[in-house]
Amino acid sequence: MRPGLTIETHSSGMTETETETEIDTERWDWRRCRSFGWSGMLRRILKRAMDSTGSSSSSGTPPAAAREREREGERERKRERKGAGGEKVIVPRNKPCIVLEGHSARDTVIQWADSSEVTRSATFTVNAENFKARNIKFQNTYNENTQRGDLNPIKQAPAFQTTADKVSFYQCAFIGVQDTLSDLQGRHYFESCYIEGAIDFIWGGGQSFYQGCTINATAAIQGRLTGYITAQGRKSETDTSGYVFNQCTVVGTGLVYLGRAYMQYSRVVFSKTYLLNVVVPKGWNPWRYVGREQTITYTESQCIGLGANMSKRVKWEKTLSSKDLAGLTNVNAFVNQDGWLQKQPF
């Protein structure tokens, strides 16, 4: 067999080397992939499949067959079975064009428990461009036993991290408490996803569009402390990054800010979104940039719900022109300028 994609798997503190086995490639429609004209040589193996009980195999041979497929202009597709797989995964930068598809985000789960350095503790990390996931739940369970009022502090424990361009998610779920979704760098698209956390649970310097997503702020886990949905890290006026939430729903327990400024030019937009009364009246927090709020771009447009009352919002929240707002809330203008979303298969 030719070498395929190497994905790092950490189990019980040890690193495993997975056995590679080919399966019947006729089960997949590769012609559809080729029609999109992907360039470059794709080499990808499926490193692990889950058995019928939903547990990951610890033996040298995967319980369900894995495969390798190498062909010019193709994208590899992995279909996960139902169940919860306990593993930590890293997709390296030189292995692009991967599709990961599950049965549903309710019963296809990739989970791990880690809280070391924040950029090294994510359950699933994607550093390669052109990655697409559908119907998968990504979860970091490190803080899951934390109860309201616990003396032990909540730790940074991301469920998913990406530093890559052209990454998309459909009907996926991201579950954690602090730094759940490390949306660090690149253009990303989230459609009909569920994202849960309490503190900075969507954070980083990504340029991302969230369409029709449910944002569940579980800030009550902190007791009387207020949570934060976003901590966006735009670094300059010319930085194209930012988070746009369009036609989303914000629910939860406890009180949360819509965001706080991780970097001085932080940019977040909530458009046509339903905001439950978990949103604090001020809406936004400058964090380390008190007195320099003029460089921060936080805006709300046509939002509804008890949490959308603007009467007590911070005075420095931006009111954008129709042109500037359209440039952010139009997915094709903000993240899909070269049509990469339409070029991704499946």
CATH number of the domain bearing residue 189: 2.160.20.10
Residue 59 lies in a domain: no
- Fill in the amino acid letter for 241: S
* pLDDT value at residue 266: 98
* pLDDT value at residue 83: 52
Q: What is the rounded CA–CA span in Å between residue 203 and residue 7?
A: 24
Active-site annotation holder among 114, 165, 179, 183: 179
Q: What is the rounded CA–CA span in Å between residue 318 and residue 307?
A: 18
* pLDDT value at residue 148: 63
Residue 3 lies in a domain: no
* pLDDT value at residue 77: 52
Residue 24 lies in a domain: no
Residue 63 lies in a domain: no
Residue 30 lies in a domain: no
Active-site annotation holder among 114, 165, 183, 200: 200
- Domain count for the chain, please give it: 1
CB 77 within 8 A of CB 99: yes
* pLDDT value at residue 147: 64
Q: What is the rounded CA–CA span in Å between residue 202 and residue 313?
A: 21
Q: What is the rounded CA–CA span in Å between residue 6 and residue 47?
A: 8
Give the predicted TM-score (pTM) of the model.
0.79
* pLDDT value at residue 153: 81
What is the per-residue DSSP string for 128-155? SSSEEEES-EEEE-TTTT--TT-SSPP-
Q: What range defines the domain where residue 222 resides? A: 77-337
Is 51 designated active site? Answer: no
Which of 192, 126, 115 has the alpha carbon at shortest distance from 160?
Answer: 126
Residue 98 lies in a domain: yes
Which of 151, 57, 150, 45 has the alpha carbon at shortest distance from 98?
Answer: 45
Residue 71 lies in a domain: no
Give 3-state DSSP helix, strand, coil % of the chain, rounded to 5.
Answer: 10, 35, 55
* pLDDT value at residue 126: 97
Kindly give the parts of the chain with pLDDT less than 70: 1-86, 146-152
Residue 131 lies in a domain: yes
Tokens (6 digits) for 255? 């009180």
Is 179 designated active site? Answer: yes
DSSP at 304: B
Which of 8, 9, 10, 70 has the alpha carbon at shortest distance from 44?
Answer: 70
